[in-house]
Structure 1
């Protein structure tokens, strides 16, 4: 006699229910650390104002659609590398390198835990600034980060009593996920293409 797999059992049970179902949560959180930080070279014209690692705790949610709607939630404890830079003109540039965690085995689903955080918290972390709110992000062309072309998004925030424009890009880099966020006035180039990874 063949015993059903855990996944097959869960799906079978869920299929007996109408509407959406929630997969049982794993008891132990996923603990992971980024492999190497993304950095901005000194030649970019920016100087380092903060470089450290932070531990974040969040819950990543994955929705599956099909004959039955399923939702899986996993608690994640992730160690994230942070590098914050400032230009001579006062523009800030932050890089967050997080582990891309596998939250579901079958089918394999990998997620950036930073995407599960509130936007204001991510911006505060990336820029080492006290940010209370961030407007909706809008797509504004593309940028290249770590050799990968990706979507460029913009928003605004109020920091230190003044409104600032934000520019954000995100890419996968090996087993990690890198988020770059910068403040820049209209027309300023943001040096995303200069970003490298430590050996």
Structure 2
């Protein structure tokens, strides 16, 4: 009996994985839309300046560990609700609501496509500003968004030509994921806790 070749082994593994929907590359992109936008109430100290639904194209990468190490790359086209607010002092606060996308069937793996997008682009969208650089995000504190306590991340960004401190929180909300990004000078507390969303 002829021993199996390495190519034969790879083909057999691929065939087995194909039945589970787990493949290193998926040819057809996933198209998904967020279901309901996160917003600030009209009674807040911020005024709505941008309200739209941009489309984001990105590639979500998922690593699997076990007996065999696998990496799956899935192209995603996501329609995102964007709400950008501005305070009386000119500070921006942005809310991005993205669909939580199931990128692999078995095991069920769900990802926020915005986590696969470059930080500069995400901050640009959230603040509707020209952003040149964003430093590494670092854990700073905790904050509550949509009733969920989560980690508050901070960074330094070059926004419209000036260096600014910014803050970010992100939570799952039903079928969506919500990312809130705010300018965060020392004397301002971003209104993360005031954010609402219709179910």
Query: Do Structure 1 and Structure 2 share a fold, with TM-score over 0.5?
Result: yes
Whether contact under 8 Å (2:80, 2:99) holds in the other structure is yes
Matched ranges for 1:13-162 at <5 A: 23-162=23-162
Whether contact under 8 Å (2:94, 2:181) holds in the other structure is yes
Stretches (4+) displaced over 3 A: none
Whether contact under 8 Å (2:14, 2:23) holds in the other structure is no
Give SS of 2:115's match: helix
Give SS of 1:120's match: helix
Aligned alpha-carbon RMSD (Å): 1.8
Q: Which runs of 5+ in 2 are unaligned?
A: 1-12
2:17 maps to 10
Give SS of 1:42's match: coil
**TM-score (normalizing by structure 2):** 0.88
Distance in 2 (CA, whole Å) between partners of 1:25 and 1:11 is 11
1:19 maps to none
CA 1:67–1:134: 2 relative to 1, 3 Å: same
Whether contact under 8 Å (1:7, 1:106) holds in the other structure is no
**TM-score (normalizing by structure 1):** 0.88
Cα displacement (A) at 1:64: 0.5
Residues 138-195 of structure 1: CA deviation (Å, up to 9, x unaligned): 1011000000000000001111221111000000000000000000211321110000
Whether contact under 8 Å (2:97, 2:176) holds in the other structure is yes
Residues 48-82 of structure 1: CA deviation (Å, up to 9, x unaligned): 11000000111100000112110011110000000
Distance in 2 (CA, whole Å) between partners of 1:197 and 1:11 is 38
Distance in 2 (CA, whole Å) between partners of 1:24 and 1:60 is 12
Distance in 1 (CA, whole Å) between partners of 2:162 and 2:114 is 25
The total of aligned residue pairs comes to 185
Whether contact under 8 Å (1:123, 1:181) holds in the other structure is yes
